[in-house]
Amino acid sequence: MPSVYCTQCGHANPDDARFCSNCGTPLSRSVPPPVMGEPGDSTSTISLGAVDAVEGEPGDELPPDQSGVEALPPNTALLVVKRGPNAGSRFLLDKDSTTAGRHPESDIFLDDVTVSRRHAEFYRRGPQFSVRDVGSLNGTYVNRERIDEAGLSGGDEVQIGKFRLVFLTNPQATPHHHVADGRGDGRPPGGL
């Protein structure tokens, strides 16, 4: 059966499909499907960056794009959509409070039925960012654990509905706080 391949995730869809059944992206008819020969025969070359091994369907996630992270101003962060209809979209966290949800007035508008109208809030206290669930139906997750509220570190994955967002910060611009020793004064344990 002929297939239409999604330009976003590469999923093979029925020829008469208008939207990708995997990620929801509108399907374009302008790109002809690849010609398949005998198994093992291929004249196409596909270059992909490194992809983290994660649960879910193959091809439905993008690796986090680290470009531009070093240029982030101090006390700001970046959320990159790793999975979901807006895969690859970036959201700058540069305010003390940033809302995320399906409501059109949300700072981060995530248009999908799995997202509550008012789903989560990202907030900044000094150099530290945190996220809190604001009463969503499906919950907010950080690194696959459901949270009411959690502090964020560079590389953390935040899930809001079916959207997976990677939290990125400029490591040179954000001071590291060592609190394991109970001092909480920003000095490393055993420091002077």
Is the dihedral angle over the CA atoms 176, 180, 186, 192 positive or is it negative? Answer: negative
- Give me the number of domains the chain comprises: 2
Residues 102 and 152 in one domain: yes
Q: pLDDT at position 55, please? A: 42
Residues 74 and 13 in one domain: no
Q: pLDDT at position 84, please? A: 81
Strand residues in 94-138 grouped as ranges (E): 97-101, 108-109, 120-125, 128-133
Q: Is 69 helix (H, G, I), strand (E, B) or coil?
A: helix
Query: In which domain, by residue range, is 88 found?
Result: 69-168
Residues 127 and 77 in one domain: yes
Give one word for 190, left, alpha or beta, with left for phi > 0 and alpha for psi -120 to 50. left
Asked whether residue 56 is assigned to any structural domain, the reply reads no
Residues 80 and 144 in one domain: yes
Asked whether residue 136 is assigned to any structural domain, the reply reads yes
Asked whether residue 26 is assigned to any structural domain, the reply reads yes
Asked whether residue 179 is assigned to any structural domain, the reply reads no
Q: Is 70 helix (H, G, I), strand (E, B) or coil?
A: helix
Residues 28 and 83 in one domain: no
pTM, two decimal places: 0.56
Q: pLDDT at position 68, please? A: 61
Give the strands of the sheet with 77-83, arranged side by side. Answer: 90-93, 77-83, 163-168, 157-160, 140-142, 145-147
Q: What is the distance between the alpha carbons of residues 103 and 105, in angstroms, rounded to a whole number?
A: 5
User: Measured between alpha carbons, how far apart are the two ends of the chain, in Å?
Assistant: 70
Residues 9 and 73 in one domain: no
Q: pLDDT at position 3, please? A: 74
CATH number at residue 98: 2.60.200.20
Contacts of 25 (CB under 8 A, 6+ apart): 6, 7, 8, 9, 19, 85
Asked whether residue 60 is assigned to any structural domain, the reply reads no
Q: pLDDT at position 182, please? A: 40
Residues 102 and 158 in one domain: yes
pLDDT along the chain (192 residues), means of 10: 70 78 70 49 44 41 52 84 86 94 94 95 94 96 97 95 92 46 43 46
Amino acid making up residue 102: R
The partner residues of 160 in beta bridges, in order of sequence, read 140, 163
Residues 110 and 159 in one domain: yes
